[in-house]
Structure 1
Amino acid sequence: MYRKHPMAVDWIVYAQSLTQKPVRGVQASGNTISRWSSLSAASKGCSPKT
């Protein structure tokens, strides 16, 4: 996959413009997001699909 621009740069610049404190970001992969979704579902009592 090719992108013409980084996806998050505009959002980070905007967030930084709202505060004097340093803004930090985490770039999560699809696997990480999938795991977070599974953990969220498990904490709500849902069983994962097998």
Structure 2
Amino acid sequence: MKNVLGGDTVAALPETGAVAVNTTTNYLKQDANLLSDSIVTDHDIPALSQ
């Protein structure tokens, strides 16, 4: 998983054959990357596993 400024995230999910890309506007927030990580782990992966 790769996080960049503002919490944008690109995650390769080889077990599902997918790539998750999340864009956010959480600039100046200290936990922007943690918020984006939780989107991937709590929402993207479960949705792709169904």
The two structures share one fold, judged by TM-score above 0.5: no
Q: Hey, which of these two has a bigger chunk of strand by percent? A: 2
* Relative contact order, higher structure (CA 8 A, sep 6+): 2
TM-score (norm 2): 0.29
